[in-house]
Amino acid sequence: MEIHIKMAPAQYKRLRNSYPIDSPVRDLIDNARRLDHAIEGVLFAGYTIVCNEDQARIFLETARQCCPEVIPHIEQAIKLAQAGR
Return the domain boundaries, the chain: 3-83
- Using the Cα atoms of residue 75, residue 26, residue 16 and residue 33 in order, give the sign of their dihedral: negative
pLDDT, mean over the chain: 88
Q: In terms of pLDDT, which residue wins out, 41 or 52?
A: 52
Q: In the chain, what percentage of residues exceed pLDDT 70?
A: 95
* pLDDT given at position 85: 65
pTM of the model: 0.83
